[in-house]
Structure 1
């Protein structure tokens, strides 16, 4: 039954078939639905993986599966690189009702040995596609020193930062304005009403700068446009100063400019071969179990929070193009896009179609149709039974003599969130490495208390821990959030690591402390992606 986690019968475990590199490649080339899932943590995944392998960590399977794998009989191929995570992940997916689960023969190493191409980094499909766009369309670009000279000379330019707002706030080009990718064609005419104003688009590296600039060109925006070559990385390598903590953002679009942008975006999407659906068809599409459907609202997060369509998840268009395999890991699925203006969905869809996705846009939507309220509720499997400990009791235990030694608190939050805040004495632990994590703890432990942000992941992981120890295993009711709301003390930093911080790959363009060598190596890697695409041969990308 959909949504029900089925326990295995005593002494029974399903036998999963193996799929070879050749079989998976044939499915990709045929365009049939397939989910190639790399269940390692993000950092190992980023070191080497097949092009369309989506990172799908074992530790989050219950939280992610039903939203990201909407059809229970979709063909799933699970892989790791010998870490022992593929089989437990397949078992868990089987318990959750997925019926077509298999293992990649030989994992990552088997893919390589069979002649398959392996890729580094994250969001590789979009990054390699961006490089192909520049290669095919010769997207105009300017170097960091050239842009700095334009600024210094007071030239008629506007610099638009196509990243997420949080990335922009961390560091930005002096004077730039934050306009996330899908907003560019809608907002550019407001920000550069003089058609002689040069528009320069930047991101952290290359992809969103290229796609953003080419979006303006493709959409018929009359201004001359160019990408800031190599983004903030190139700016930093040129030893030019960045701004920090800026909040400049785009204004509302006038009706005249919105109409012009909608006309151009529609024409562009039609040229790319984007399909159309009407609002009245959405209920039937959502009920269809013969295909995998993803329903994405590509407007800004703020607009989505004010009102949404039923069944549609928030996926701002620029990020959807940048992180497609994370939003929609089923290759060959159908992506249904919606907006309230006729610009952002069409513009996003025209890129996704060129990336060989089956994509359609909902026509005729207006602002009043986005009336569903409340936060999006993820469908989750039933929460397993777990013994809980409340905040006050755990606080008392930890306050006793040798309390942190006797009660070992394991925090299963992401490494980023653990470093932001955690219970005093809590150990960072990855669910995928619990056995190793227990070996790192000091002697004398009498009980384990699991926590995470909300306590939800801790509940799912409690059974894993109970299989490894005879000691009591408890879950902090309400998680670290409840602890903080009760006014209890918190720590920050990487204070106690029972597992390595490998659940997130550190991008060479993140933060303000990156080494020049790492940034240059990242750029060199991006330059080589077009050749890798050709060697791989499964992408089906086409550039209009």
Structure 2
């Protein structure tokens, strides 16, 4: 039975945000259009990825879910798809994005905006110390007693970094700073690519009472670049081991900060109680490094390194008003992460009293996925390669449903890049074939597109076993470059602070935008942030 489409007005969504009742406001467009304009607490869940991501990101099927687009015709399809997955309280945002705007709702651009806006509010209220790039470089050239700590993910750090900087992702700072700067006279500089993680990282050390002078690198690697100073590439410096005394001190300092912020503590029995509680979503995150998580973690917990969790709350926890439970094995990282999330308006608990022997699960956390809507016919990489080599042109069309960046990096020769969100339109531009072979990185997403391609083409549809990775592992030829793009590359918003070839105007424009976020927060009025 087809359920009726319900339209939820702007005022009702806003009231839920003000009341801190659970709601997931979903923008089902691709990331680039999402980044151009969206409400503060909207989470991006593209239509084409709903089967892969919905159950994990919105684990409770009776969550209030409000879906919108900007008139592209995606939202209604997303509602139907969510309903088919069992979601019971799904509606359309009345008027879509334009309806939000017309009702007086504030719109934000870029991604991870709640976290970035919060970071700007922290700096405005706490006057987080910072130094300009020129001054930091001068300190280095003078061989001053200074250490630069990069608070981003390690892969971001490797792409570009401040010369001499050490990779210490955000939640690791309080745990490891005393090891890297044991002399309290050593000046610590914390940087990221732009502003947010350097502000939060610096203020973390200040809040934890580190005796060293601490400053953020003002405007991060963007500020460094705009100052005409050279960056390193491919650096691999990481923090060393922490002594038991330093670990204990970090845990004590972090716990004190968490207590001031109002963080609560949970036991394993509380976890069972949370799981049985109806009407509440509980996210469980392990905030240690991905390597530690893979080596052993608590069952039911997902990997979310603390610094990135604070940076990307909209990605990890799209249900605003949900409960968050954090765990580590040292007492520092979970408490510091929890202190920030609590200030951002979340109900946060840290799991206490868990022995390391309980970290029994290894590898990635398993994902529960829905069954494809029709049976899948698989084709082995070697079989596909033989067909492509021996049959006449136009018999087989290979459709690559991976990300555009991955397609450009490596794809099966002759494959067409298609966004699943754009599938029907893209197929109309591709020459017709007798059969279609769908693939992506692993073919996990590709299997869900079989029915849509079959209905649109009337042809036989197969899925490549193991996807593009299996093709490459078999030693079969690959191509690279922006070839056969049947869909626009809108799945990825080009961040002005990533990479090394962004125009200076874009970098400066990004900084100007960040400076204006505090005023936008005030106009929006739904954030609920309380800076410690």
TM bucket normalised to smaller: over 0.9
8 Å CA contact retained: 1:296, 1:336? yes
Q: Would you say 1:413 and 2:402 are equivalent positions?
A: yes
Q: 1:461: which partner in 2? A: 449
Q: CA RMSD in A?
A: 1.1
Query: Once the two structures are superposed, what CA deviation does each residue of 1:423-470 show, in whole Å capped at 9, x if it has no partner?
Result: 11001100111122112223x522211101111111111112222121
Question: 1:24-43 alignment to 2 at 5 Å?
Answer: 24-43=13-32
d(CA) in 2 for partners of 1:366, 1:210:
33
Bigger mean CA offset, 530-539 vs 483-492: 483-492
Give the C-alpha shift of residue 401 in structure 1: 5.2
Matched, 1:395 2:385: yes
Give the match's secondary structure for 1:78. Answer: strand
**1:341 aligned partner:** 330
Structure 2 matches for 1:255-274, cutoff 5 A? 255-274=244-263
Map of 2:478 onto structure 1: 490
Q: Distance in 1 between matches of 2:108 and 2:426?
A: 29
Q: How does 1:354-365 map to 2 (within 5 A)?
A: 354-365=343-354
Q: Does 1:537 align with 2:525?
A: yes
8 A Cα contact 2:293 2:362, kept in partner: no
DSSP 3-state at the match of 1:111? helix
Structure 2, unmatched stretches of 5+, are none
Residues 176-227 of structure 1 deviation map (CA, whole Å, 9 limit, x = unaligned): 0000000000000000000010000000000000000000000111101000
Q: Distance in 2 between matches of 1:263 and 1:215?
A: 14
The verdict on how the C-alpha distance between 1:416 and 1:289 changes in structure 2, with shifts beyond 3 A counting, is: farther
How many Å apart are 1:402 and its aligned residue?
4.0
Which residue matches 1:510? 498
Mapped contact 2:417–2:484 kept (Cα < 8 A): yes
When structure 1 is superposed on structure 2, of 380-389 and 76-85 the one drifting more is 380-389
Partners of 1:160 and 1:477 lie apart in 2 by 43
> Shift of residue 252 of structure 1?
1.5
Alignment of 1:443-458 (within 5 A): 444-458=432-446
After superposition, give the CA deviation of every residue in 1:460-511 in whole Å (9 maximum; x if it has no partner). Answer: 1111222212122221122112212222111122211000111010100111
Contact 1:160–1:201 under 8 Å retained in 2: yes
Equivalent residue number for residue 154 of structure 2: 165
Are positions 1:195 and 2:196 aligned together?
no
Q: Are 2:303 and 1:295 equivalent residues in the alignment?
A: no
Output one character per residue of 1:95-114: Cα deviation in whole Å (capped at 9) or x when no partner: 01100000001111110011
- Between the aligned partners of 1:87 and 1:157, the Cα distance in structure 2 is 55
Query: Per-residue deviation at 1:414?
Result: 1.0
SS in 2 for 1:467: helix
**Which residue does 1:156 correspond to in 2?**
145
**What per-residue deviation string (whole Å, max 9, x for no partner) do you get for residues 210-252 of structure 1?**
0000000001111010000000000001110000000000111
Matched position secondary structure for 1:73: coil
Task: Say whether residues 1:74 and 2:63 are aligned partners.
Answer: yes
The aligned counterpart of 1:250 is 239
How do 1:76-475 residues align onto structure 2 when only pairs under 5 Å count?
76-384=65-373, 385-400=375-390, 402-403=392-393, 405-442=394-431, 444-475=432-463
Whether the 8 Å CA contact 2:119–2:200 is kept in 1: the answer is yes
The farther-off stretch of 202-211 and 263-272 is 263-272
The whole-number CA distance in structure 1 between the counterparts of 2:207 and 2:126 is 10
**Aligned-partner SS, 2:457:** coil
Is 1:339–1:365's contact at 8 Å kept on the other side of the alignment?
A: no
Question: Is the partner of 2:447 in helix, strand or coil?
Answer: helix
Q: Secondary structure at the residue paired with 1:456?
A: coil
Equivalent-residue separation in structure 2 for 1:235 and 1:365 (angstroms)? 43
Residue matched to 2:487: 499
Checking the alignment, whether the CA contact within 8 Å between 1:341 and 1:366 is kept in structure 2 is no
Contact 1:294 / 1:333 at 8 angstroms: preserved in 2?
Answer: yes
> What are the superposed Cα offsets for residues 288-323 of structure 1, whole Å, 9 maximum, x if unpaired?
343101000000111101100010000000000000
Contact 1:209 1:227 in 2 (8 A): yes
Runs of 4+ in 1 over 4 A off after TM superposition: none
Q: What is the alpha-carbon distance in structure 1 between the residues aligned to residue 225 and residue 363 of structure 2? A: 41
Contact 2:275 2:282 in 1 (8 A): yes
Note the alpha carbon deviations across 1:13-67, whole angstroms, 9 max, x for none: 2212101111100110011000000010000000000000000011110110111
Does the Cα contact within 8 Å between 2:326 and 2:351 map onto a contact in 1?
Answer: yes
Distance in 2 between residues matched to 1:402 and 1:514, nearest whole Å: 43
Name the CA distance, whole Å, in 2 between partners of 1:295 and 1:452: 29
Structure 2: how far apart are the matches of 1:287 and 1:323? 27
Distance 2:68 2:199 in 1: 32
SS, match of residue 484 in structure 1 = helix
Partners in 1 of 2:9 and 2:487 — Cα distance?
32
Once the two structures are TM-superposed, the CA of residue 346 in structure 1 deviates from its matched residue by: 0.4
Aligned residues between the structures:
531
Conserved? CA contact 2:63–2:279, under 8 Å = no
